[in-house]
Amino acid sequence: MNDIPDNIPDETMDDIPDDLPDETMDDIPHDLPDETMDDIPDDLPDETMGDIPDNIPDETMDDIPDDLPDDVPDEVALLQAQLDVQAARLRLYENVVQRRRARRRRQRGRRRRFWFRPWLGPERRRQFGLYDQLMVELRAEDPKSFCNFMRMPPEMFDEILLRIGPRITKQHTWFRAPIKPGMKLAITLRHLASGAKYMDMRYGWRVPHNTISKIVREVNKKYLILIFSLFLHVSVLIIFCTFRFAGRLLTST
């Protein structure tokens, strides 16, 4: 009681109710430290402790409204920012899809000037293409340059074409003649050797770039199947010869 100041204003005692129960003073602990009152901030409103309920349920946090005040926790603000970013990405994706659909509708509405470009036709291909002109000259006059161009000698090229040719041959139709299997193999080997782009290769081979992309995928798939089958046959042959040789050794001993 020595810490009670002497200059208490007269209005302070007026706020104390007269009907306090007798047990009120018994609930106040007597061993409060001196620093207890120093930790209480000075700017607490009068209604602070009265608004806090004693039985807060576990589902209280699910009912938090979206319009939280400025002093929300950092986790909630970060979650809101992430949701905003995801919403912006979805809106951007929708805009891209709508633009692509609009462009496809415009392309369907336009009439094509020709089925294929004249300089990419089969006649120009036979006259000025690399397969029917340059490769024929290299095979007949300079096999070393042919090996540098295809990364293999002409004999190996013919052997691979003999094995893979029936797998990549297309059927003739009334509309146009298919591309030769030798040209498909040559285009694929040149693409693998040089790493050139399809858009650049079409000028020398006289084949559209989209057709070249299909040719490369087709030949690579068939070539891998061929290599796997050859490897399987060789492996079976080696195993058979090994067991046969081992059997002869056992019978001789």
* Apex 166 CA angle, 165 and 172, nearest 5: 100
Query: Would you state the pLDDT for residue 65?
Result: 55
Query: Mean pLDDT, the chain, as a whole number?
Result: 77
pLDDT at 215 over 90: yes
Q: What is the mean pLDDT of residues 154-181?
A: 88
Place of tokens 């000259």: 137
Query: Would you state the pLDDT for residue 1?
Result: 47
pLDDT at 36 over 50: no
Amino acid occupying residue 120: L
pLDDT at 145 over 90: yes
In eight-state DSSP terms, residue 81 is: H
Three-state SS across 147-203? HHHHCCCHHHHHHHHHHHHHHHCCCCCCCCCCCCHHHHHHHHHHHHHHCCCHHHHHH
Tens digit of pLDDT for each residue in 71-122? 556 788 888 888 999 899 999 999 999 998 888 888 776 666 666 788 888 8
Residue extents of the structural domains in the chain: 118-170+177-251
Question: How far is residue 130's CA from residue 204's CA, in Å, rounded to a whole number?
Answer: 6
pTM of the model: 0.51
Structure tokens at 171: 């059927």
